[in-house]
Amino acid sequence: MKALEEKILREGAVLPGQVLKVGSFLNQQVDVEFLLEMGKEIARLFADAHVTKILTIESSGIAIAFAAAVAMHIPFVFAKKNKSANVSGEVLQTKIHSYTHGTDYTAVIGKEFLSENDRVLLVDDFLANGAALEGLVEIVKKAGAVCAGAAVAIEKGFQRGGDALRKKGIRVESLAIVEEMGENSLTFRR
């Protein structure tokens, strides 16, 4: 998505640890109109996939998942990090290693929000080593649902997650794929 690449070049900053900061439109402040455009692009890419529900993880995935859900006219569910008092009853959960915090957490959803009749599209803001999406795949499996694919705003193509998921047969669509990034340079995969 050309407009996303241009926005990353204009507003993004590369932090130590190969972290791309896009707090001005995706990770802290949310550019609502722009995210709705990203949501439409995700809907276009998965128009033939018969998706019934979107699954993401709090908190950074929520805005982009919301935008995709609006465009696809379906609900989205966000997994909570660590079981909180307001996830009650039977749950589906899995352990995930956090790229940005370097620690493990448990992602949890109430069992009633996914069923074996669902075709689930995973959505997240970033794809790095793939732990977040692998965790969501695990939750989809535990629900007996089908994973229709994964859509991410920004894939860091120089990290292993995207290719590993694709090798497993999961359809991964990224709106922008960063090929290489350094303090003063950033290029996209063509």
Which positions lie near ligand 5GP, rule CB under 6 A? 19-21, 27, 60, 99-100, 124-132, 156, 161
Nearer to ligand 5GP among residue 42 and residue 127 (C-beta): 127
Q: Let me know if 72 is exposed, middle or buried by CB neighbors in 10 A (0-12, 13-18, 19+).
A: buried
Q: Please identify, using beta-carbon distances, which residue of 25 and 144 lies nearer to ligand 5GP.
A: 25
CB of 61 to ligand 5GP, least distance (A): 6
> Rounded to the nearest whole angstrom, what is the least distance from the CB of residue 50 to ligand 5GP in the complex?
25
Nearer to ligand 5GP, 80 or 156 (CB): 156
Please report how close the Cβ of residue 146 comes to ligand 5GP at its closest, in angstroms. 21
Long-range CB pairs of 101-105, under 8 A, 24+ apart, other chains included: 105/81
Question: 3-state DSSP helix/strand/coil percent for the chain, to nearest 5?
Answer: 35, 35, 30
**Cβ pair 189, 163 in contact under 8 A:** no
Nearer to ligand 5GP by Cβ, of 24 and 129: the residue is 129
Beta bridge partners of residue 182, listed in sequence order? 185
Residue 48 beta carbon to ligand 5GP: minimum distance, rounded to whole angstroms: 25
The enclosing H or E element of 153 equals strand 146-156
